[in-house]
Structure 1
Amino acid sequence: MEIVMVSRRGVLKLVGGGTVLAAGSVGTFVAMNGPSRAAREPWRQAGLYESYRKRALSYALLAPNPHNLQPWQVSLDGEDALTLYHDPERRLPATDPYDRQITIGCGAFLELLSIAAAEDGYRTEITAFPDGSDLQALDRRPVARVTFHAGRARPDPLFAHILARRSNKEVYENRDVDTDKRNALVAAGAVYGQTAGCIGNDLLAVKLRDLTWRAHQVEVMTDYTYQESLDLMRIGAKEVTNSPDGIELEGPMIAAGRLLGLVNRKTLADPSSSAFRQGLDMYRAMAMSARGFAWISNSNATRQDQINAGRAYARLNLKATELGIGIHPWSQSLQEYPEMAELYREVHDLVGGGERLQMLVRIGYGPKIMPTPRRGLDAHLV
């Protein structure tokens, strides 16, 4: 499906399908079918709470996380502590069977929590998995306990970039990222005992562009892994408003496609449909536009390593925001299910360095984009 808006003639057209909206109707249609504003309200509410813990949490829930599941549950303990749990209903059993990516998302949450608390002068004492953990799967034991210590922290310069942080899932410009900026990304990610790497548009990047695209194809052409994504798709602003999580598909083009029955879960699931094929074309263009790659790795010996990888990735993402660099996780080849095993070995041979790759992202310069939907603070408090 391709929809073209011709502003000079005032006509919204679906290629091959004739006129959808005549002149004079386009502006109204676009205005009524834009992205959900309500689903982005938590970005505007960040920092507006009276309680310092809720202020910190209101920034933490903006953290990057897999498939935008936002798998965080929090209990406020006493006057100066909280406990973080993962939500057992928000997992990715097909593509993340050992909850590694979910744990990384919890680490990113904790890092933004710590940065935001420091802005108020509070040092966070974070104890990951205080009651133990299992590398095979997360359970109901706490992910972390956090104690706040007043007057013991200095503001972190990365705080200024939390509200502008994005995962930029667009085609990047034909412009390379210079060495100094790539080195700054490595420095930002090489914290908490992590190994960070970053390359520009070189021969290794050519190999990684091809590999990451093949990994994407494996995921969408494998029924049960693609179904996991389909189940998390929110199609149209109404669905996004009602469920501000998962993979949002919204805007006037999506609305027009829905109106004509060309964009829905059935067509998106059908490899022979134009919606499916053009979705592949869109992602291929994104993959091939990468102007370099960055990654984070460690020994993956414990859940603490995964938490630390998430904390390091949050800092790398914020540094990219500061530098004006687009960044987009492209980690399908790091996933642990049988159909991905060959590419898992290949990517580790290329850049693993004998460690477990925890994050792999493409970098470049992309257009300005909106923040992803968020569920809001009350949805996370238990």
Structure 2
Amino acid sequence: MTLSRRKTLALLGGGFILAAGTATGLRVSRKPGTALEPWQQAGGYEDSRMNALSYAILAPNPHNRQPWLVDLATSDQITLLVDTNRMLPHTDPFNRQITIGLGCFLEVLRMAASHQGQRAEITTFPDGYDDAALDQRPVAVIKMIADPTIIPDPLFDHVLDRRTEKEPYDLTRRVAQSSLDILIQAGRSTTLSGSVDPADIAAMRAICEEALVIEIETPRTYKESVDLFRIGAKEVNANPDGIDFTGPLFEAMGATGLFSRTSALDSSTASFKAGMEAVLDNTRTAMGFVWQVTPTNTRLDQLAAGADWVRLHLAATGAGVAVQPLSQALQEYPEMTRLYDDVHKKLAPTGGTVQMLARLGYTAPVPPSPRWPIDAKIVNA
């Protein structure tokens, strides 16, 4: 039995932490007894740091790069670093999106600690930072402090259920303003906004569609995603990060050569064209949009954006609303400059940086027929 994506966190100095919530699913395929013991510890470690981390690694992050490194050498302390080998240099040249993912990680860790009666005292970038690129300096130092007065964060209840829904949404179901309000009220330190107005939806669908086309038709940015395709269980287990394609359909297509990283890059094929339409189908079924603005664009802003973003997504999970980031128009590379400027004029007219943009809706009642798998999994997880 091998572990699937986003299930373990390797520790600096040796050892690993298993993601919370995995034990139940693994019991059906492993024999009972001692073989199950490591999985039964998930979410229930004696070390409260490991317990909190087993939830934090379920946080959303771009392309599921899982860029976190953790050092537990100092008692009652967690040092979070970033793996600079897991950056996205073409679509995220300044590591802004990676930093947002690290902010998501820290917020889920904080929530998990609150449910253990502990306060996670987080000091971010204790040795400073560079806005141009992340480096080997710590992202954060977290001290776990027992606090009987702490109030458990209610959004934590949805951590194990949160998913990024990457299928077409139900065009017959509108997102109510009251549901949108629940999402945007979940933030604490950034400005969350959104719209379910049909005119705004149409305008944002068009912008997001054009941005997706630009990313896919720009060879280096598209190849960055394709290089992270994990086709079939064997590849996923060997590299449990990136963009996974598993299940009987993808196993068969991978085994027969119908789907490979090479074929995915060939824009002359019918499968590529069908894949492009599949991506755009998702954008075209947006039934609302939500976005996030910070006053500036420092690393501290980006970490705050991540914290509020995962809070929004957890609130959406609780409200039954599906969310999928569509942040291509926010990416800082030359081919996207015009759309980047257009989005900022529309969504941040008084200034600031739009950090995240996502579509909202409800999953369709009947799953769509299998399609060539260039689905919108190419966007942030």
Query: 1:40–1:99: structure 2 CA closer, same or farther, 3 Å change rule?
Result: closer
Q: Hey, what does 1:44 align to over in structure 2? A: 22
8 Å Cα contact 2:81-2:136 kept in structure 1: yes
1:98 partner letter: F
Three-state SS of the structure 2 residue aligned to 1:266 is helix
Q: Please show how residues 272-351 of structure 1 align to structure 2 within 5 Å.
A: 272-351=268-347
Match of 2:85 in 1: 89
Residue of structure 2 in register with 1:360 after alignment = 357
Give CA-to-partner distance per residue, 1:3-53, whole Å, 9 cap, x none.
xxxxxxxxxxxxxxxxxxxxxxxxxxxxxxxxx874465341541322111
> Structure 1 residue 180 and structure 2 residue 178: aligned?
yes
CA RMSD of aligned residues (A): 1.6
The residue number in structure 1 matching 2:76 is: 80
| Residue 77 of structure 1, CA deviation | 4.2
| 8 Å CA contact retained: 1:262, 1:275 | no
Alignment map for 1:90-169 (pairs within 5 Å): 90-152=86-148, 153-169=150-166
| In structure 1, distance between residues paired with 2:22 and 2:166 | 22
TM (normalized to structure 2)?
A: 0.84
Distance 1:88 1:39 in 2: 19
Which letter does structure 2 place at the counterpart of 1:295? W
Shift of 1:78: 2.5
1:98-120 CA distances to partner (integer Å, 9 max, x unpaired)? 00001000000000000000000
Structure 1 position 367, deviation (Å):
5.4
Structure 1 residues 252, 37: CA separation in 2 closer, same or farther (over 3 Å shift)? farther
Corresponding residue of 1:379: none
CA separation in 2, counterparts of 1:350 and 1:230? 31
**Partner SS, residue 97 of structure 1:** coil
- Bigger Cα displacement from structure 2, 36-45 vs 305-314: 36-45
Q: Aligned partner of 1:186: which letter?
A: I
Following TM superposition, by how much is the alpha carbon of 1:205 offset from its aligned partner in structure 2, in angstroms?
1.2
Q: Which runs of 5 or more residues in structure 2 are unaligned?
A: 8-18, 24-41, 368-381
Distance 2:344 2:4 in 1: 41
Paired residue type of 2:181: N
* Structure 1: unaligned runs, 5 residues or longer: 1-35, 370-382
Kept in 2: contact 1:84–1:145 (CA 8 A):
yes
Structure 1 residue identity aligned to 2:347: V
- In the TM superposition, 1:196-345 aligns within 5 A as 196-345=192-341
- CA positional deviation for 1:300: 2.6
Shift of residue 274 of structure 1? Answer: 2.2
Amino acid across the alignment from 2:288: G
Residues 181-235 of structure 1 deviation map (CA, whole Å, 9 limit, x = unaligned): 101111013x12x111011142111011011011011011101111110111101
Q: CA deviation at 1:277?
A: 1.2
**How many Å separate the matches in 2 of 1:258 and 1:87?**
29
Q: What's the secondary structure of 1:188's corresponding residue?
A: coil
CA contact (8 A) 2:6 2:58 kept: no
TM-score when normalising by structure 1 = 0.84
